[in-house]
């Protein structure tokens, strides 16, 4: 971890950034001697004792500096390494590199490094250049400082922007990432995508992104149901015409037309509950629900279980109406491949429990 070394401690050898005479011919050379924040500088140290651990630091001239590296010198008392001018350095400041032994008994300071304004001309490309909120957009920005955190935002033309993501440039100053156009963008306004270095005055703005209206989901005619089954009772059929239920009856499917819909379960139940009379047309099939006055509240299918909620009055005509009513409702629901189990509630109570309390 980098540590901060005060420029003028009370110790006998204050680590200031200004050189002072020492009995040892130590020196620190740097190259280049100017550049923007983040510049990599070659630091060459000479004149120290061989195979000795020293501290290398960097800081503004005549101010405190940070120790950033503790290498060992070579057999001839020298070493060469790369250190960077911190990104927080400001243009027109002078920074120096300091090499010292532990405690600062032997120390050398480089010539000043002149911090200049960054010379970056970043570019940006986005793809696609239009779409509704929620669109995934590829953002490629180049000619940024290398290994630098950048903020990616969306904003109106010639206005402020909201940061919606961050990324880091590679060693070549390039970033390639994806963002999602957020929900707050509106088609009525003109929008751009902005990439800006987090700690440097380097920013680029894209061409306009044309925000379009989100499409309204519509089902194709192939996805719509126009026919479905409702289930009625064949009295005394003993399982010949359909599935056998109690009292030697059978529950039998009857195909009916419904308005085109993507929710056939709801349509089938509504059709079943609105059948008038005891008999269904001329079919001879019995409708055990004709005495009841029930309305569908909701029908949903989650993980293979259909939950049907009804409201109103349930009236039975005798003991045999119990399996008949259950069969008509359950089989109408179970006809769909997405349904494995059925739970039916009337006025919030399970159908099976309600039937035990119904007076015939």
347 and 232 in a common domain: yes
Rounded Cα gap, residues 121 and 148, in angstroms: 15
Q: Which tens digit of pLDDT belongs to each residue from 252-305?
A: 999 999 988 888 999 999 999 999 889 998 889 999 999 999 999 999 888 899
Residue 127 lies in a domain: yes
- CATH code assigned at 63: 2.60.40.2840
**pLDDT, position 12:** 42
Same domain, 169 and 185: yes
Tell which of 147, 178, 211 closes a domain.
Answer: 211
Q: Which two tokens stand for residue 204?
A: 């680029």
Tally the residues of the chain: 360
- The list of the chain residues with pLDDT below 50 reads 1-14, 16-23
Specify the residue for token string 């970043």: 122
Number of structural domains (the chain) is 3
Report DSSP state, residue 53: B
What is the chain's alpha carbon radius of gyration, rounded to the nearest angstrom? 40
What six digits make up the tokens of 151? 């903020």
Helix ranges (H only) for 103-262 are: none
Out of 171, 191, 211, a domain closes at 211
CATH number at residue 151: 2.60.40.230
Closest of 89, 35, 93 to residue 66, by C-alpha: 89
Residue 21 lies in a domain: yes
pTM of the model: 0.42
| 7-45 burial code (b ≥16 CB/10 A, e <16) | beeeeeeebbbebeeeeeebbbebeeeebbbbbebebbb
Do 176 and 240 lie in one domain? The reply is no
| Structural domain includes residue 216 | no
Q: Do 289 and 240 share a structural domain?
A: yes
Q: Are residues 202 and 314 in the same domain?
A: no
DSSP 8-state assignment for residue 296: E
Buried b (16+ CB within 10 A) or exposed e, 314-341: bbbeeebbbbbbbbbbbbbbebbeeeee
* Same domain assignment for residues 186 and 275: no
Nearest to 172 by CA among 200, 196, 142, 198: 142
pLDDT at 184: 87
Domain hosting 66: range is 3-115
Q: Are residues 58 and 86 in the same domain?
A: yes
Q: Are residues 226 and 207 in the same domain?
A: no
- Pair 242, 283 in one domain: yes
Q: Looking at 59, 87, 115, which one is the last position of a domain?
A: 115
Count of CB atoms situated within 10 Å of the CB of 187? 13
For the chain, how many helices (H) and strands (E)?
3, 26
Report the distance separating Cα 229 and Cα 316, nearest Å.
23
pLDDT at position 351 is: 93
Do 246 and 344 reside in the same domain of the chain?
yes
pLDDT at residue 20 in the model: 44
188 & 261 share domain? no
Are residues 81 and 8 part of one domain?
yes
Whether a cis peptide bond, with omega within 30° of 0, leads into 128 is yes
The pLDDT of residue 217: 59
């Amino acid at each position: 971890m980098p540590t901060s070394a005060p420029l003028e401690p009370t110790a006998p050898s204050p680590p200031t950034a200004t050189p002072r005479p020492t009995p040892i011919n130590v020196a620190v050379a740097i190259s280049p001697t100017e550049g923007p924040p983040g510049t990599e500088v070659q630091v060459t140290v000479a004149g120290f004792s061989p195979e000795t651990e020293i501290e290398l630091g960097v800081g503004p001239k005549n101010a405190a500096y940070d120790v950033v590296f503790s290498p060992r010198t070579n057999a001839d008392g020298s070493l060469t390494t790369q250190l960077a001018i911190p990104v927080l350095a400001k243009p027109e400041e002078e920074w120096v590199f300091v090499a010292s032994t532990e405690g600062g008994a032997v120390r050398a300071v480089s010539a000043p490094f002149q911090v200049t304004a960054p010379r970056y001309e970043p570019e940006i490309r986005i793809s696609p250049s239009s779409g509704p909120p929620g669109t995934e957009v590829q953002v490629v920005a180049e000619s940024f400082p290398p290994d630098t955190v950048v903020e990616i935002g969306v904003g109106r033309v010639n206005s402020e922007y909201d940061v919606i993501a961050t990324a880091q440039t590679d060693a070549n100053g390039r970033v390639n990432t994806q963002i999602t156009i957020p929900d707050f963008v509106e088609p009525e306004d003109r929008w751009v995508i902005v990439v800006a270095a987090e700690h440097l005055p380097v920013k680029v703005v894209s061409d306009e992104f044309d925000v379009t209206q989100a499409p309204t989901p519509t089902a194709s005619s192939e996805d719509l149901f126009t026919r479905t089954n409702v289930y009625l009772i064949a009295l005394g059929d003993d399982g010949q015409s359909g599935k056998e239920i109690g009292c030697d009856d059978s529950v039998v499917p009857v195909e009916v037309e419904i308005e085109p819909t993507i929710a056939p379960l709801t349509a089938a139940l509504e059709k079943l509950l609105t059948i008038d009379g005891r008999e269904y047309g001329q079919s001879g099939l019995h409708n055990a629900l004709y005495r009841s006055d029930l309305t569908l509240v909701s029908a949903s299918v989650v993980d293979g279980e259909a939950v049907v909620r009804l409201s109103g009055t349930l009236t039975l005509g005798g003991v045999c109406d119990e399996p008949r009513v259950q069969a008509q409702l359950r089989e109408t629901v179970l006809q769909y491949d997405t349904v494995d189990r059925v739970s039916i509630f009337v006025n919030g109570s399970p159908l099976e429990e309600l039937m035990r309390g119904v007076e015939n």
